[in-house]
Amino acid sequence: MKLIRFFALIALIPVALIGFGVALGGWAVVAALAYITLVAFAADEGVAAMAPTADTEADFAWANRLSVLLAVSHFTLLAATVHALSGNTLGWGEKLALFFAAGLFMGQVSNSNAHELIHRPTRGLFALGKWVYISLLFGHHTSAHNKIHHRYVASPRDPNSAREGETFYQFFPRAWIGAFKAGYEVEHADMARAGRSGPHPYVTYLAGAAGMLVISALIGGIAGVLAHLCLAFYAQVQLMLSDYVQHYGLMRAEVRPGKLEPVGPQHSWNAPHWFTTHLMLNAPRHSDHHAHPARPYPALRLRDGEAPMLPYSLPAMATLALVPKLWQRVMGRELRKWYAAHPRPVPTASDT
């Protein structure tokens, strides 16, 4: 319980601020936006402490309860934000601040939490994470992430691993479409192999997304649907930015034709920053997650010395990725430094 308190405090404060913003507007929406941008950046730069690591044998019941609370908060805030953005109670400046505050929360906290939940073995927790993604019109990520990304990360077969020199604007459509197709194909193959005749998971993803938009239409009409679409797109961009940043330019060696080396700490970029580590439920400790996908987030380790480290926090690097020339200058240097100290894998035929 003691280790969870900072995760709970830091991740739940924006829930309260966004809620106040919906109800009150004014200072509350400004405070919500400032918390998840300026406060987060200042705390990351100013706090040198490292987040503690839980024992892998600990009881993670409180961690699961926090994930459930954050998921319920996500659905509540999504509906409330759609209502506020499609209504007339807030001015345009307040709506803009609320949109960015809520969108950042959904892209950084809700996404990290849903990512945690779809790795949980409990059916109810998995379903909750899946529906968070469905509410963001991104349900296929549930299949593509677990069955494609984790298997083929840091190789050309993973749509969500960014190639060296590839800009985010090139990566986004390639990865979005590639993951959608790859997830569908692997689910279809799994159903055929198991002899299952039930509905394809993509039916749930697409029908669920349509249902979510119907609810937003009931809340705010056409304006409600547009608000939902914009929030979902903004959250998806942030999710894809996380994938882009955390695997940029890193490659796995092919130990024999068609066989990749095991995933190791050297195949993900990590960030040690205290504040956003807690805000994003240890998502910046990405190497250990790939090594141990089922490990609960409080127990993820930071593989210092074994894994490449980002020069700034994950949200700061995601912002940098939106400026390709600056990104290439900074991350080109970091990639060269990493491979100068660690042998670069020989490109496979599919890399060239």
Q: Is the pLDDT of residue 70 over 80?
A: yes
What integer is the mean pLDDT of 258-281? 93
Model confidence at 198, pLDDT cuts 50, 70, 90, reads: confident
Which H helix or E strand runs over 244?
Answer: helix 201-247
The length of the chain, given as a count of residues: 352
Which H helix or E strand runs over 171?
Answer: helix 168-194
- CA nearest to 264, candidates 237, 223, 295, 303: 303
The pLDDT score that the predictor gives to residue 352 is 42
| Cβ count near 20 (within 10 Å) | 16
- Tens digits of per-residue pLDDT, 210-247? 999 999 999 999 999 999 999 999 999 999 999 999 99
Per the CB < 8 A criterion, the answer to whether 42 and 24 are in contact is no
**Torsion on CA atoms 317, 320, 321, 326, rounded to nearest 10:** -130
Alpha helices in 25-160 (DSSP H): 27-34, 40-46, 61-86, 92-105, 111-117, 123-135, 141-144, 150-152
Task: Tell me the average pLDDT of the chain.
Answer: 94
What integer is the mean pLDDT of 49-77? 91
256: three-class secondary structure by DSSP: strand
Model confidence at 124, pLDDT cuts 50, 70, 90, reads: very high
Model confidence at 348, pLDDT cuts 50, 70, 90, reads: low
pTM, rounded to two decimals: 0.95
Amino acid at 232: A
- Chain-centroid distance, C-alpha 93: 27
Q: Is the pLDDT of residue 347 over 70?
A: no
CA-CA distance, 207 to 114, in Å (whole number)? 19
Cβ neighbours of residue 171 closer than 8 Å, sequence gap 6 or more: 162, 163, 240, 244
Between CA 144 and CA 151, with CA 150 as vertex, the angle to 5 degrees is 95
Range of the domain at 218: 4-351
In the chain, % of residues over pLDDT 90 = 86
In the chain, the number of structural domains is 1
How far is the first Cα of the chain from the last one, in angstroms, to the nearest whole number? 49
CA-CA distance, 71 to 73, in Å (whole number)? 5
Q: Greater confidence, 122 or 343? A: 122
- Tens digits of per-residue pLDDT, 128-180? 999 999 999 999 999 999 999 999 999 999 999 999 999 999 999 999 999 99
Model confidence at 346, pLDDT cuts 50, 70, 90, reads: low
Q: What is the DSSP letter of 35?
A: I
The pLDDT score that the predictor gives to residue 33 is 97
Query: Bridge-partner residues for 256, per DSSP?
Result: 259
- Tens digits of per-residue pLDDT, 6-32? 999 999 999 999 999 999 999 999 999
CA-CA distance, 149 to 253, in Å (whole number)? 16
